[in-house]
Amino acid sequence: MHRLAALLLALLALPLAASPRIRHTINEQWRFAPGEIEAAHEPAFDDSSWQRVNLPHTWNAADAFDKTVRYRRGPGWYRKSLTLDPALKGKRLFLYFEGANQVAGVHVNGRHAGQHIGGYTAFVFDVTELVVLDAPNVIAVRVDNSHSDDIPPLNADFTFYGGIYRDVWLIAASPTHVTVTDHASPGVFISTPEVSAARAVVRIRGSVSNHGGRAARLRVVNRILDAAGVEVAALRSNLTVRAGASAAFDQRSPVIERPSLWSPDDPYLYRVRTEVYDGNELVDALENPLGFRWFSVDPDRGFTLNGRTLKLYGTNRHQDYPGFGNALGDDLHRHDVRLVKETGFNFLRLAHYPQDPAVLHEADRLGLVVWEEIPIVNIISTSAAFAENSERMLVEMIRQHYNHPSIVFWGYMNEVLLRKPDPVPDRYYEIVPELTRRLEARTRAEDPSRLTVMALSFDEVGNDYGIGDVPHILGLNLYFGWYYHRDDFGALGSFLDRVHAERRRPIIVSEYGAGTDERVHTTRPVAFDFSSEHGQNFHAASFPQLEARPFVLGTGVWNHFDFGSAGRQDTKFGLNQKGLFFYDRTPKDTVFYYQAALLDQPVLYIAREWSERAGSRPEDRRQPVWVYTNQPEVELFVGGRSAGVRKVENRTARWEVVLADGANSIRARAGSFEDRITIVYSDRTGGSFHAVNAGAHYAHLDEAHVYWEPDREYVPGSWGHVGGKAARTHHRIFATKEDPLFQASREGMEHYQCDVPDGTYEVTLGFAATAARAFSVHTNGLNTAVALTPHTAMTRTLLVEARDGAGIRIEFTGEASIAAIMIRQP
């Protein structure tokens, strides 16, 4: 539109009348009690002893991380007293839940308002006939997160936290209003049947419900407003709605010339304001987002947005956070989306379920292309109810989030053949493809404008009973250098080439990632040591292979954030540690590799997860330091002295530097950009303090900042083992937080020798073993018996004397195993 015309229109535009629809949260002052509670839905029930909570809330924020118990899956009750404004008389009243996991039964004043199945989509109940305006109302909600064979997800690598874990709203609308109860959707569905840089046509469908006592002759006006609020088109239709019925409208806009397009680089948003008039009276109004964009996929050339190739580089997100479980406020949701965008990504997969409305709004606003999916993960049930619940969830997801321009892909299955039911039901491998085709057909019928996708794992490709060819796009979850081909990061690219050649389908790498722990460090990283260094190598080796293949239309790191997966046993119990960010949203160093790869602005970042180190031999002072940058070369300074200029390869520059005892200031410089960190090094050479992570090739930094050096063979003048072999488990270790220290042990050694000066020493021995063991340890004449229970940390501190220059000698008899040794002078 012409500038001046736009300005005039803006001046002429009457201020938009306030909507008669009232919408506010009712998150406050709930009471909660766990378990099955008789009569808890009855208004007179006494809940005064229940916990006071605000929503969002889950009852699993703590127990999902408890090593000793299973997190509670079962019922829980919420109650709230709700006093309504008498001015709401004559309005239609609804309770709108953004999500409760996973079955919710809602009661108002003792009467059943409705039940909803499925933990990740919104639901709404009309409670007009159940409430009173002249006295407080009692709302009681029974939520149950028990396993159900009829409800996806049946099994998945994330925690199924129970509770009303998203916002709850009261909606008060006029008797005639845009339909609220169609799958808790906005009741308005916006699409762009024609769209190009030159022109666009908007189609707006929806329905209006009439709860009044007479037929209503209504006018539905949809105003398309640009980002400045200027009206660019208004669509009008007249509608007659019988009393107690709904009627549909379906409008097409005139041509909108040269629409501003939505893209990750420039996420221009229009709004559609829907107004319903009864005569001259505005009876309802609401707004929805609108973005103009078009897209396509090609098996060879990848993804195009608005006519241009756009490789999608991105990540996956789960919805939980330390201390909150899944019960996050909108600000935390938005913060997460911002962290995705700031990493340089343009793509976000909401795995493995529909997420909070705040997430979608933020993705629209910041410009992220979104894949959203329903939680069919790993396995299905063959029951009719399972299929029906799945399909209903799919419809809810699509209708609820239909208007978000960020959404491009709808998914409905993740690695669905990964697990086999036991016993395998009759026709299982026919029923899975049947369900696939049913969900595919429903997705395309609900929303022909988007692309469909599913994710298969490495093992499923080639054994997928054809399901991978059903959606538009084949998603691949790939863990080369982690679960398989552990020493061969390069196998990723050749595998992709093969799948591309064989399947000839558009391919997206929906997952790739490796678990890390900031406490674990090594110069010899290997898969599954959880070292920060292996994680960094994994990404630096994988990403260029994905970049180099134009047929890979997009990529998704697994995961953007470490996330709760109760029962998972890596090095932090209950967490999946494959995030680019730690669970508390501290960035891992790898984030800056991606920033260097993807951002236009200068990035110069010294890797700093490993900024406390120690060594007990002179050669240990030589230490690696590396920098992630998008600058061509970098100079590094250690304690003010140049360590040399390095050319940057694959966004990385590396040095071996010599560290001094104590704080070392490290500075990187590229042109006018600088970064500084401090690495604290404790040189233990010849000293009387030692800490050894026995049986481990990696160092562990514990909570007290003790740096447990990797184990080594004894050489005179130092410490080390004589004989034996390393053993490792990933099982959680009870009675400690320092799992990486106790998961590795040395077994069957003759002894450890530590050459320390004469004197009195405290020797702390740490043990843990996978099976019960009894043995004895002789330390400089002190004999002590050890009896271990499986997977349980035990430490014992001994006071011993070192004499005659013989140091400390720790000898073992029997089925010995040792995980940690600390030697210090008291």
Tell me the site size for ligand GCB, rule CB under 6 A: 11
Per-residue contact string for residues 452-471; x = within reach of ligand GCB by CB under 6 A: -----x--------------
User: Which residue, 415 or 440, is less far from ligand GCB as judged by CB?
Assistant: 415
Token reading at 601: 């602005």
User: By CB under 6 A, is residue 683 in contact with ligand GCB?
Assistant: no
SS3 714: coil
User: By CB under 5 A, is residue 396 in contact with Ca ion?
Assistant: no
* Least Å from the CB of residue 658 to ligand GCB: 38
Per-residue contact string for residues 333-372; x = within reach of ligand GCB by CB under 6 A: -------------------x--------------------
* Least Å from the CB of residue 401 to Ca ion: 13
User: By CB under 6 A, is residue 226 in contact with ligand GCB?
Assistant: no
* Least Å from the CB of residue 566 to ligand GCB: 12
CA distance 743 to 697: 12
User: By CB under 5 A, is residue 330 in contact with Ca ion?
Assistant: yes
* Least Å from the CB of residue 511 to ligand GCB: 5
Reference 94, options 176, 182, 14, 181; nearest CA is: 181
Residue written as tokens 């340089």?
Answer: 344
Task: Reduce the secondary structure of 145-177 to three states and give it as a string.
Answer: CCCCCCCCCCCCCCCCCCECCCCEEEEEECCEE
Q: Which does 570 bind (CB under 5 to 8 A by kind): Ca ion, ligand GCB, none?
A: none
Token reading at 168: 């709850």
* Backbone phi and psi for residue 692, each to the nearest 5 degrees, phi listed first: -120, 130
User: By CB under 5 A, is residue 47 in contact with Ca ion?
Assistant: no
Q: Give me the DSSP letters along 338-372.
A: HHHHHTT--EEEE-SS---HHHHHHHHHHT-EEEE
CA distance 441 to 350: 21
User: Which residue, 414 or 693, is less far from ligand GCB as judged by CB?
Assistant: 414
Q: Are strands 347-350 and 369-373 parallel, antiparallel or unpaired?
A: parallel
Which residues in 532-591 contact ligand GCB (CB under 6 A)?
Answer: 558, 576, 578
Q: Which does 362 bind (CB under 5 to 8 A by kind): ligand GCB, Ca ion, none?
A: none
* Least Å from the CB of residue 576 to ligand GCB: 5
Angle at 801 between CA 800 and CA 807, to 5 degrees: 105
- Residue 722's identity, in one-letter code, is V
CA distance 308 to 797: 66
Which of 98, 275, 415, 533 is catalytic? The answer is 415
Which residues in 336-375 contact Ca ion (CB under 5 A)?
Answer: 356, 358
CA distance 49 to 464: 53
Per-residue contact string for residues 79-98; x = within reach of Ca ion by CB under 5 A: -------------------x
CA distance 308 to 643: 44
* Least Å from the CB of residue 184 to Ca ion: 13
* Least Å from the CB of residue 681 to Ca ion: 46
Q: Which does 709 bind (CB under 5 to 8 A by kind): Ca ion, ligand GCB, none?
A: none
CA distance 411 to 352: 9
Partners of residue 78 on adjacent β-strands: 32, 141
Q: Which does 356 bind (CB under 5 to 8 A by kind): Ca ion, ligand GCB, none?
A: Ca ion
Q: Which does 578 bind (CB under 5 to 8 A by kind): ligand GCB, Ca ion, none?
A: ligand GCB
- Interface region with Ca ion, contact rule CB under 5 A, candidates 33-41, 322-330, 403-411, 786-794: 322-330
**473, 297 contact by CB (below 8 A):** yes
Residue written as tokens 């006029």?
Answer: 174
Q: Which does 330 bind (CB under 5 to 8 A by kind): ligand GCB, Ca ion, none?
A: Ca ion
Which letter does DSSP use for residue 716 in this model? T
User: By CB under 5 A, is residue 167 in contact with Ca ion?
Assistant: yes
* Least Å from the CB of residue 251 to Ca ion: 30
User: By CB under 6 A, is residue 157 in contact with ligand GCB?
Assistant: yes
User: Which residue, 359 or 627, is less far from Ca ion as judged by CB?
Assistant: 359
Among 415, 533, 609, 739, binds ligand GCB (CB under 6 A): 415
Among 356, 511, 529, 589, binds ligand GCB (CB under 6 A): 511
Per-residue contact string for residues 277-316; x = within reach of Ca ion by CB under 5 A: ----------------------------------------
Residues 6 or more apart whose Cβ sits within 8 Å of residue 14: none
Q: Which does 531 bind (CB under 5 to 8 A by kind): ligand GCB, Ca ion, none?
A: none
**Annotated catalytic residue 415:** yes
**607, 588 contact by CB (below 8 A):** no
Residue written as tokens 């609401």?
Answer: 286
Reference 761, options 785, 782, 783; nearest CA is: 782
C-alpha distances (whole Å) from 555 to each of 303, 475, 485, 544, 600 are 11, 9, 20, 11, 19
**94, 181 contact by CB (below 8 A):** yes
The neighbour count for residue 283, using CB atoms within 10 Å, is 24
* Least Å from the CB of residue 329 to Ca ion: 7
User: By CB under 6 A, is residue 595 in contact with ligand GCB?
Assistant: no
CA distance 363 to 505: 27
User: By CB under 6 A, is residue 159 in contact with ligand GCB?
Assistant: no
* Least Å from the CB of residue 628 to Ca ion: 34
Residues 6 or more apart whose Cβ sits within 8 Å of residue 469: 503, 505
The neighbour count for residue 749, using CB atoms within 10 Å, is 22
Reference 88, options 24, 41, 139; nearest CA is: 24
Closest-by-Cβ residue to ligand GCB is 157
Among 414, 516, 537, 623, binds ligand GCB (CB under 6 A): 414
User: Which residue, 165 or 563, is less far from Ca ion as judged by CB?
Assistant: 165
Residue written as tokens 């140049």?
Answer: 642
Residues 6 or more apart whose Cβ sits within 8 Å of residue 698: 520, 521, 522, 525, 529, 531, 710, 740, 744
Binding site for ligand GCB (CB under 6 A): 156-157, 352, 414-415, 457, 477, 511, 558, 576, 578
**Which residues are marked as active site?**
415
Binding site for Ca ion (CB under 5 A): 98, 166-167, 330, 356, 358
